């Protein structure tokens, strides 16, 4: 058996509803996950891989809508030059009468294979897949322990597919499906393709998480990739991450210091990146800003929302610098200024609860913003 090249992916979580977003945006995000199949097929072709293994959580839930099953299968079927190997994971376990039975009843495309039972499957001459499928929501044990018990012909390529966090991430109890370190070597595997962790990650030389190809949340890891793997019996695999994501989800921090233009700083954040309409950004603003800089930033963010697929911000951590100059700009001696001073005093009053201080901060923001609007209207 020579080198076997394939694409390792996982955690497609098809049908994830994105219900927190407006309906139209949610539909776009759902569609992007189906579209990812076509992009993955492209990566496989580009790298001369004939097989795509999906290491669990292909679907987001046990009982998806019929179209959520049919449309991705159609997309895989249309990439007829590739074979798609699908492994049930914790989100879509192969429970009796569940999603996978429905797919079989419906009739699978000829190039799509479900790995619903443990035991070696020959994917290509001499190349064996050893799946560790989830058949229930809580298997209660490390399913990769079974790999050692599944024999394959001598000299065959042994590729394990499993789903679940490694014990490195999970400090769970004994009855955990977490995968213990060294699973690949204990199972005599040449490569262990893992799913569950949404960022792509090398666990050891023979073990990788592929991560989700299309991100679905504001990550602290690196989603949006597939892995092109070249494996050969007894050799360390060669693994190449390839970016495929359409939408970019980012968690950004803007740490302001007095005197620097916060609007410019914000604009610089996503300058040169993907188009903003494909970006979902969660912004946390910290540091210190003058009253009018703060108002200007908030006003700017409000206006900039339309450019983004999603933009939200948290300014709770931003301290507002109240000084005479800022107040003068607001109102030299009138009631606006007096109200602003009182609201600011309230917002830093340690006698009040955090909720009340937050309300005062928000009221002050509104005051400054509304006052700025009236100036703009006058102008």
Q: Which residues bind other proteins (CB under 8 A)?
A: 15-21, 26, 60-66, 68, 95-98, 102, 331, 334-339, 342-343, 346, 358-360, 362-367, 370-371, 373-375, 377-378
CB of 335 to other proteins, least distance (A): 3
- In the complex, minimum distance from the CB of residue 17 to other proteins, in angstroms, rounded to a whole number: 3
Nearer to other proteins, 64 or 262 (CB): 64
Residue with smaller CB distance to other proteins, 250 or 369? 369
Least spacing, CB of residue 269 vs other proteins, in Å:
23
Is residue 40 a contact partner of residue 81, using CB atoms and an 8 Å limit? Answer: no
**Cβ 88 to other proteins, closest distance in Å?**
14
Pick the closest to residue 166 from 148, 150, 152, 182 (CA basis): 182
Residue placing its CB nearer to other proteins in the complex, 264 or 376 = 376
Show the tokens assigned to 196. 């569950």
Task: Please state, in angstroms and as integers, the Cα–Cα distance from residue 333 to each residue in 33, 328, 340, 375, 377, following that order.
Answer: 57, 8, 11, 16, 21
**What's the rounded Cα separation, in Å, for the pair 245 and 225?**
7
Q: Which is nearer to other proteins, 158 or 337 (CB)?
A: 337
Nearer to other proteins among residue 168 and residue 325 (C-beta): 325
Choose between 305 and 374: whose C-beta lies nearer to other proteins.
374
Are 34 and 72 spatial neighbours (Cβ–Cβ below 8 Å)? Answer: yes
Residue 63 burial (CB count, 10 A) = 13
The minimum distance between CB 215 and other proteins, in angstroms, equals 16
Inter-axis angle of helices 66-78 and 23-46, nearest 10: 30
Helix or strand (DSSP H, E) at 253: strand 248-256
CB of 291 to other proteins, least distance (A): 14
CB of 63 to other proteins, least distance (A): 4
Min. distance of Cβ 365 from other proteins in angstroms? Answer: 8
Cα distance between residue 242 and residue 227, in whole Å: 6
Q: Nearer to other proteins by C-beta: 225 or 313?
A: 313
Contacts of 213 (CB under 8 A, 6+ apart): 9, 12, 36, 39, 40, 223, 224, 225, 226, 244, 245
DSSP state letters, 85-129: EE---SSS---TTSHHHHHHHH---TTEEE--S-S-EEEETTEEE
Mind giving me the DSSP string for 319-376?
EEE--HHHHHHH-SSSHHHHHHHHHHHHHT-TTS-HHHHHHHHHHHHHHHHHHHHHHH
Report in angstroms how near the CB of residue 342 gets to other proteins at its nearest: 5
> 86 vs 343, which CB is nearer to other proteins?
343
Question: To the nearest whole angstrom, how small is the minimum distance from the Cβ of residue 304 to other proteins?
Answer: 18
**130 vs 192: CA distance, rounded Å:** 9
Contact between residue 1 and residue 232 where contact means Cβ atoms under 8 Å apart: yes
- Nearer to other proteins among residue 159 and residue 367 (C-beta): 367
Q: Give residues with Cβ within 8 angstroms of 26, minimum separation 6.
A: 17, 18, 19
Q: How far is CA 237 from the centre of its chain?
A: 25
Residue with tokens 């996978």: 100
- Residue 62 or 252: the one with the smaller Cβ distance to other proteins is 62
């Amino acid at each position: 058996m020579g080198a076997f090249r394939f694409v390792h992916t996982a955690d497609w979580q098809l049908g994830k509803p994105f219900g927190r977003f407006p309906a139209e945006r949610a539909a776009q995000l759902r569609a992007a996950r189906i579209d990812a199949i076509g992009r993955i097929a492209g990566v496989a072709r580009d790298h001369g891989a004939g097989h795509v293994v999906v290491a669990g959580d292909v679907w987001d839930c046990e009982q998806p809508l019929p179209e959520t099953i049919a449309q991705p299968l159609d997309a895989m079927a249309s990439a007829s030059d590739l074979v798609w190997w699908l492994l049930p994971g914790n989100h879509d376990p192969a429970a009796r009468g569940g999603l996978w039975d429905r797919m079989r009843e419906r009739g699978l495309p000829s190039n799509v294979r479900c790995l619903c039972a443990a035991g070696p499957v020959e994917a290509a001459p001499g190349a064996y897949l050893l799946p560790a499928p989830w058949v229930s929501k809580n298997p209660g044990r490390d399913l990769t322990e079974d790999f050692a018990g599944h024999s394959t012909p001598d000299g065959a390529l042994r590729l394990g597919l499993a789903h679940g966090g490694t014990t490195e991430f999970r400090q769970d109890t004994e009855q955990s499906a977490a995968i213990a370190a060294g699973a690949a070597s204990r199972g005599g595997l040449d490569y262990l393709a893992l799913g569950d962790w949404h960022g792509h990650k090398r666990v050891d030389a023979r073990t990788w998480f592929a991560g989700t190809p299309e991100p679905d949340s504001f990550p602290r890891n690196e989603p949006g990739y597939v892995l092109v793997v070249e494996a050969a019996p007894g050799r360390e695999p060669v693994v190449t991450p390839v970016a495929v994501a359409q939408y970019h989800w980012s968690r950004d921090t803007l740490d302001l210091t007095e005197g620097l233009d916060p609007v410019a700083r914000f604009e610089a954040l996503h300058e040169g990146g993907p188009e903003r309409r494909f970006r979902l950004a969660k912004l946390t603003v910290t540091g210190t800003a003058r009253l009018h800089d703060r108002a200007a930033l908030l006003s700017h963010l409000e206006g900039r929302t339309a450019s983004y697929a999603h933009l939200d911000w948290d300014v709770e951590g931003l301290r507002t610098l109240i000084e005479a100059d800022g107040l003068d700009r607001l109102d030299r001696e009138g009631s606006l200024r007096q109200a602003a001073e009182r609201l600011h005093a309230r917002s830093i009053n340690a006698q009040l609860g955090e909720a009340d201080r937050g309300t005062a901060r928000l009221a002050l923001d509104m005051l400054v913003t509304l006052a700025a609007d009236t100036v703009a209207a006058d102008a």
